[in-house]
Structure 1
Amino acid sequence: MTRLTKLSRSLVDRVVLVTGAASGMGRATAHLLADEGAKVGIVDRSGDALKAVAEEIRGVGGTVHAVVADITDPEAPAAAVAEVRAALGPLDGLVNNAGVSIHVPLEDPGFAEAWATTLAVNLTAQALFARAAIPDLVRHGDGRMVNIASTEGLGATAGIAPYTSSKHGVIGLTRSLAVEYGRTGLTVNAVCPGPIRTAMTAGIPDDAKEVFARRRTALRRYAEPEEVAQITVSLLLPAASYITGAVIPVDGGLTIRNA
């Protein structure tokens, strides 16, 4: 019997670069990609933690190359892409996951510095990684890019204007690149995590997490990083060939709940 589909769900030997891979959603994404047979380039500024992730992946038979980099340096994204390309081959996928959140009111003396740092990590670095990776991603007509935004890109919370602004920018960048490179077959999508148990939310007491989740999400709980990573990896599949410019909340129903 003839198979219905010829679209591949295999990531074997596809090269994918993941930023912010030393912990949280980035780490989970790197592990899932390696489990599926992809060759994974991982980038983070935290050298010891990144080395540990690389050792974890190699320990279960995965192929990985780690690059320690401060992505606020405008030269770092292109250098990281070049190093991963040299080690593993041309990129087939890019996951712009690295992010930072700084709670700072507009009138705070540290606002300007927080704004510059947040935009550099959360938005400018995504654009620069995309720029460096594009020649690889368009070469075969099946490149994949996933930019990690946030539910803050769909709304707003007081006191984190730099973060919220940067995540709105990620959604704009995603849509722009999807339109600009759609003719090449490259797909560009954004994932918007809601309340997730990561280092970014580690300072929130567990009881406060529980109260927030019960009040604000349909599923009434925080998610684990892997639950976001599973969606990210799905968007990297060759078979995910007709979804682009999408903005996908992975938020337990936070953005649909009125009360």
Structure 2
Amino acid sequence: MTAEATTKYDELPQLLNRSISGETAIITGGASGMGRATAHLFASEGAKVVIADLGADRVQKVVDEINTRFGAELALGAECDVADLDQLRKVVESAATWSGRIDIVVNNAGMGRPNALTQPEDEFTEAWDRVLAVNLSSQAQLVRLALPYLLKSDAARVVNIASTEAIVAQSGLVSYAASKTGVAGLTRGLAVELGRQGVTVNCICPGPIDTPMTKGHPDEAKEIYARRRVPLRRYGIPEEVAQMTLNLCLPSASYVNGAVIPVDGGMTIRHT
């Protein structure tokens, strides 16, 4: 047996480790939808979670849910507009002070606005700038701010949440499609840059998911859309996206880097 093979077998227990217990994760957009589901799942696995989102009451509600259900001191709230660099910096500082470590960053916060080239200039520019700031720029900034702590972790993980709008697109949402496509590109760039330092960076592209963002769509319309477009013939639920996020954050996922993974019931592979 070669020395290289021996080394790999010596490392096997770590490579097979499927626990994030004791690790600390920052989850943006953690007060609802996929972010909330991810925070609950991580806490159920013994991780400490920092819930970063708009609205102090919304954030505190999720913190209380987690600390009541899974054990005190597993969740910390951080009210934050992710488009504000100073507020992002405070989230990282609070997480580091509270836990002493940051092992995982889940860039989940996102938004959409109607945005078409035919809009008046001020309306178009306002929507474009805000959507890209929230959906794309904030992800790069948070990873930058958390990087000194991630580099100290034995299994540093970054998961960026994009959308199937990074793969396909619909009319009237140009800033949303551009931002989500940018997240996929950002993921690949960071994966190459940070991989050599032991930090993996991956991307999830959720398809139609029942979240507050889709709550305004009539149930009948969602049912028709799912039957026509999704091979599984239904919308997904936030917990299904959270499970993929967890899988990418496990120590055993150490060789998954730069992946862009649809969680869409097969929507983006359907030709007709």
The match for 1:90 among 85, 92, 101 is 101
Q: Which stretches in structure 2 are left out of the alignment for 5+ residues?
A: 1-8
Structure 2 counterparts to residues 144-223 of structure 1, below 5 A: 144-223=157-236
Question: Aligned equivalents of 1:69 and 1:4: distance in 2?
Answer: 39
Partner of 2:78, secondary structure, is: strand
Which amino acid in structure 2 is aligned with residue 93 of structure 1? I
Q: Deviations over 1:133-172 (max 9, x none)?
A: 1111122342000000000011211000010000011001
Question: Aligned equivalents of 1:169 and 1:228: distance in 2?
Answer: 20
Q: Which stretches in structure 1 are left out of the alignment for 5+ residues?
A: none
Q: Deviations over 1:62-83 (max 9, x none)?
A: 4011100112212221221111
- CA distance 1:37–1:141, shift in 2 (3 Å): closer
1:77 aligns with 2:79: no
Q: Which has the higher helix share?
A: 2
Question: Aligned equivalents of 2:47 and 2:80: distance in 1?
Answer: 22
- CA distance 1:53–1:171, shift in 2 (3 Å): same
The match for 2:118 among 107, 118, 121 is 107
Q: Give the TM-score, by structure 1 length.
A: 0.97
- Asked if the contact 1:42/1:64 (under 8 Å) is kept, the reply is yes
Q: Report how far residue 104 of structure 1 moved.
A: 2.4
* RMSD over equivalenced CA pairs, Å: 1.5
Partner of 1:234, secondary structure, is: helix
Question: Aligned equivalents of 2:117 and 2:154: distance in 1?
Answer: 44
Q: Report how far residue 60 of structure 1 moved.
A: 1.1
2:59 — aligned with what? 50
Larger C-alpha radius of gyration, 1 or 2?
2
Deviation >3 Å, runs of 4+: 2-5
Question: Aligned equivalents of 1:140 and 1:92: distance in 2?
Answer: 6
- CA distance 1:4–1:94, shift in 2 (3 Å): closer
1:130 — aligned with what? 143
- Asked if the contact 2:109/2:135 (under 8 Å) is kept, the reply is yes
- Asked if the contact 2:102/2:153 (under 8 Å) is kept, the reply is no
Q: Report how far residue 3 of structure 1 moved.
A: 11
Question: Aligned equivalents of 1:5 and 1:198: distance in 2?
Answer: 38
Q: Deviations over 1:90-129 (max 9, x none)?
A: 1000000000011222221211101111011000110110
Identity of aligned residues (%): 51
- Asked if the contact 1:65/1:88 (under 8 Å) is kept, the reply is no
Deviates further, 68-77 or 6-15: 68-77
